[in-house]
Amino acid sequence: MTASGIAARTATHAELEVVTGLCLEAFADEAVAAWIIPDPAERQRNLREMFSASLETVIEAGAMILAIDPGGTPIATSIWLPRDAASEPTEPEPSVVEDGSQARRMRAVETATQARRPQGSYLHLSSMATLPDHRGRGAGSAMLHAGLERSRTLDLPVYLEASTSDNRRLYARSGFHDLGEPIHLPEGGPSLQPMWAETAR
């Protein structure tokens, strides 16, 4: 638990509906999603489709860590996926898009990020987002602490791609370091900074 009283724990199946609503609000202004689908209303429709199709599987796998406020309400979410070079990881599809420019940008993200992901076994912090009214109050730090504890238990390093400078600073404070140069998405898209954390027991 942080000094502000925020705790972190694994999401449960009973929270699926609450978590879906949380994700829709928390990811509404996420940098990559906003670049792929610029129209906010259309973005919400696509995010709803994506989360409806994927969150149950993520929660049942125990791969989602939530931040919980002092009143017991989930205010932030993060997904920690195990990766193994011997098998193709299972994770939610990033979006459901049909428009040509959106599909092109989605493919650009997938191609660029897959090319930079490391070999071997590790946890992939594939996404993390906090409700707008709760940002900057320790939710991200609480989830990172819980996720890094999990990585130490599993004896696995952690990989992520930071999509904003604020996130990059947050991750750096938690022990992550840059892994190579940023990934620059085309057509004026955001830059993603690959980052890595070794987790000694």
What does each of the 201 residues of the chain score in pLDDT, given as a tens digit? 665 799 999 999 999 999 999 999 999 999 999 999 999 999 999 999 989 889 999 999 999 999 999 999 999 999 999 998 544 444 444 444 455 888 899 999 999 999 999 999 999 999 999 999 999 999 999 999 999 999 999 999 999 999 999 999 999 999 999 999 999 999 999 999 999 999 855
C-alpha 177: how far from its chain's center?
17
Domains of the chain from N-terminus onward:
7-197 (3.40.630.30)
Q: Which two tokens stand for residue 161?
A: 């791609």
Q: Are 158 and 199 in contact (CB under 8 A)?
A: yes
3-class secondary-structure state, position 60? helix
Length of the chain: 201
Nearest to 192 by CA among 131, 110, 97: 110
The pTM of the full predicted model, rounded to 2 decimals, is 0.88
Q: Indicate the DSSP class of residue 5.
A: S
3-class secondary-structure state, position 63? coil
Q: What gap in Å lies between CA 183 and CA 162, rounded to an integer?
A: 10
Q: Distance between terminal CA atoms of the chain?
A: 20
